[in-house]
Amino acid sequence: MSLRVVVLISGRGSNLKAILETDDPLVDVCAVISNRANAKGLDYAHSCNIPTEVMDHKKFNTRFDFDAALWQLIDTYQPQLVVLAGFMRILSPEFVTHYQGHLINIHPSLLPAFKGLHTHERVLKAGVNIHGVSVHFVTAELDAGPVIIQAQIPVLPEDDPETLATRLLKEEHRIYPQAIHWIAEKRVQLVKQQVFLDGKPLSYVLPDNYPMGD
């Protein structure tokens, strides 16, 4: 049986597209939900005949009200995994707890370094020569949480934020479907904030003297 997945997006949806184009027989994307009606990724989901939903966070008084309505909507699809793919909302601890171990995110940095926004600009400003991307289980802390897979790319002398983002995106599109595939194969376990792959603990070490980007 394939893994039932709900994908949450806010915009372009290129990671969603990469996941769908992989056409993994072990993965069934049963819905795509956006907090923005004009998210481009919704068009692609439509073209694949995948049910889409829009839940506008601006229509809710509090973060918790939005999150509670969101998880109720998500749960109508009975997913086994919720995938954040450029979903640009901070999620409440209650939401995160509700999906503990079943909620993953992709973040364009070598976590735990460079959490937050504008990572490409900040990496260039910090003058490091390696950048990267992480897929991780979501915990209550923003862009934190145990890493499932990372990819690194070199920062080239001629790079600007756009060239860096473009090269990194290729790696995003490779590792996100890979992480979901491992989960669908039941090869990944999260035990007390430690990720195991095939029963072996995973650990990702930052390059020497790598700044945290604070």
192 touches 146 (CB < 8 A): no
Q: Residue from 45, 172, 177, 190 that binds ligand GAR (CB under 6 A)?
A: 172
Q: Does 13 bind ligand GAR (CB under 6 A)?
A: yes
Q: Active site residue: 46, 57, 107, 173, which one?
A: 107
Task: Examine the residue annotation and report whether 98 is marked as an active-site residue of this protein.
Answer: no
Sign of CA dihedral 96, 106, 128, 162: negative
Q: Residue from 5, 6, 15, 44 that binds ligand GAR (CB under 6 A)?
A: 15
Q: Does 24 bind ligand GAR (CB under 6 A)?
A: no
CB of 135 to ligand GAR, least distance (A): 9
How many CA atoms lie within 13 Å of 210's alpha carbon, on the beta-carbon side?
18
**Residue with smaller CB distance to ligand GAR, 117 or 156:** 117
Q: Using CB atoms within 10 A of its CB, is residue 186 exposed (0-12), middle (13-18) or buried (19+)?
A: exposed
Q: Does 12 bind ligand GAR (CB under 6 A)?
A: yes
Which among 188, 183, 175, 198 is positioned nearest to 22, based on CA atoms? 175
Residue 58 has a CB neighbour count (10 Å cut-off) of 7
**Residue with smaller CB distance to ligand GAR, 13 or 177:** 13
Q: Does 177 bind ligand GAR (CB under 6 A)?
A: no
Give CA torsion, residues 62, 32, 110, 205, to 10 deg: 110
Cα Rg of the chain, angstroms: 17
Of 100-108, 120-128, 149-157, 177-185, the segment contacting ligand GAR by CB under 6 A is: 100-108
**Residue with smaller CB distance to ligand GAR, 161 or 196:** 161
Q: Does 107 bind ligand GAR (CB under 6 A)?
A: yes
> What's CA 132's distance to the chain center, in Å?
14
Residues in contact with ligand GAR by CB under 6 A are: 9, 11-15, 41, 85-86, 106-108, 143, 172
